[in-house]
Structure 1
């Protein structure tokens, strides 16, 4: 295992990443960012509780009370669309999350590339640490999912519901479906693309070139998205999240290789990569961290010129000494957005506030809150 400290220091739909041409093309042109003009504010309920006793609904045979409550909580927040849902009760982490295959994702057809993503942690303000993330892909309807498992931490995460079969023309009509036809949404906890838990631990991922991973026969295998769920449910700090990653072989089969940018309330962050058969942990030595779509471990001392988005993020964070407010963080995501940016999200690591923009409509910010733990 290799640790690197540096101040310079994100999924395809069921196709393997064979080249990085698309990543290079995703870092080629910087477009002008339009000005934010308006604000749409939405406040959903706080974290779910298992004490709910839903009314019996016709056509829900085979669904438990918790599942009925979960599927009934679905709301449409944005016509892109973005939905919100609160997951009630347990979702069987121990069996599903250790499945070595992305079997849930095989319900959808392969999609074309290219795409790319941008992530950063702005940690310079102890009262307003933020994590920003652009998900750049083709059309991706999304779900903002609130979970509070009985044996884990409450969290909020973003899920691309095209992975669950709700893509294309049916993405905007899920609320018209009976509950039984929404059942695929019960798998949403296992597919977090980014998220934050009640302790402020925040995680995002980005695609990178293959890093020649070597599975350890002594370790269990877990999917590359499911491990994000494991970290959100079990870890309070970057160190605890990294320990979870060390516990498993991370299965990238069926999707591209990934690296993970993780941050917490202490101001610590780590970019975790898999390179030349080792897990490489790149920690921050300044109050910010960032990642796009190249392996930092393979870049040597200089990253300048590798990706324009990476360079711009560094420039802005250096100039502000890692201090951004929610608006400035969203503006930075706007600056590094691309034609394929599906959502931009800013997580308030300290406050629990979550700001979401769908489809580059930066004039319409959706505001949510996860009740933060005081521990």
Structure 2
């Protein structure tokens, strides 16, 4: 098996499958301190204002048609767990990104950049990396809580939560809004084998303990 060195440059190891890493501050804490947002375009403007992506970037979001499933299983004959997720996408530009924020948890995650449409071929390699950090994936709530969109919520959990319990408590602090007008849910697991699926039903956050998540709501 060939060992690949992950660098700050985006590398392509197969057609449409790339990887890279990003270190330091990518604006999450600053964005969260704002008064909340219900729009991905607000996030894109924030990234431009803070010079994390090019001012000339002309981006819109589109739904390429997607679904996905995930599972958590115990390792055979040893401690620990495996978590797996598939992309049920007809067209997928997959990027694996390693993140090393200054004061939070590091993470490895996979994002589908097919959601991002570059309208004038203006995106640089750095633009793609910072957009990958917040790329939309997978509800609109309306309570007095601060607003957040799904893509920022995922990044918040990866950086701030070490356990399922911590993740649930973070999500309880916000009103969730969809990135692409789609109904979504979150499959969350931790190193101790805890697994939940968080969903938003009738303006309320709910969660179900389950090691399996498919393309249907699990809330009874």
Alpha-carbon distance in structure 2 between the residues aligned to 1:148 and 1:109: 26
1:102 correspondence with 2:29: no
Render the CA deviation track for 1:356-375: whole Å, top value 9, x for unaligned: xxxxxxxxxxxxxxxxxxxx
Cα distance, 1:145–1:136 mapped onto 2, change above 3 Å: same
Post-superposition shift, 1:192? 6.6
Query: 1:155 pairs with 93, 107, 110, which one?
Result: 107
Aligned to 1:296: 218
Larger Cα-atom Rg: 1
Structure 2, gaps ≥5 residues long: 46-57
Post-superposition shift, 1:258? 0.9
Post-superposition shift, 1:266? 1.1
Aligned to 1:351: none
Greater strand proportion: 2
Alpha-carbon distance in structure 1 between the residues aligned to 2:116 and 2:127: 6
Could you tell me whether the CA contact under 8 Å between 1:107 and 1:163 is conserved in 2?
Answer: no
1:247 correspondence with 2:205: no
Higher relative CO (CA 8 A, sep ≥ 6), structure 1 or 2? 1
Could you tell me whether the CA contact under 8 Å between 2:62 and 2:117 is conserved in 1?
Answer: no
1:266 correspondence with 2:192: yes
Alpha-carbon distance in structure 1 between the residues aligned to 2:150 and 2:5: 29
Alpha-carbon distance in structure 1 between the residues aligned to 2:136 and 2:180: 16
TM-score of the two chains, using structure 2 as the length reference: 0.78
Render the CA deviation track for 1:298-320: whole Å, top value 9, x for unaligned: 4xxxxxxxxxxxxxxxxxxxxxx
TM-score of the two chains, using structure 1 as the length reference: 0.48
Render the CA deviation track for 1:169-205: whole Å, top value 9, x for unaligned: x8xxxxxx9xx73342122211275xxxxxxxxxxx6
Alpha-carbon distance in structure 2 between the residues aligned to 1:88 and 1:109: 25
Could you tell me whether the CA contact under 8 Å between 1:260 and 1:272 is conserved in 2?
Answer: yes
Render the CA deviation track for 1:2-41: whole Å, top value 9, x for unaligned: xxxxxxxxxxxxxxxxxxxxxxxxxxxxxxxxxxxxxx64
Could you tell me whether the CA contact under 8 Å between 2:22 and 2:100 is conserved in 1?
Answer: yes
Cα distance, 1:108–1:277 mapped onto 2, change above 3 Å: closer
Alpha-carbon distance in structure 1 between the residues aligned to 2:214 and 2:87: 11
Could you tell me whether the CA contact under 8 Å between 2:64 and 2:115 is conserved in 1?
Answer: no
Q: Secondary structure of the residue that 1:108 maps to in structure 2?
A: strand
Alpha-carbon distance in structure 2 between the residues aligned to 1:94 and 1:165: 26
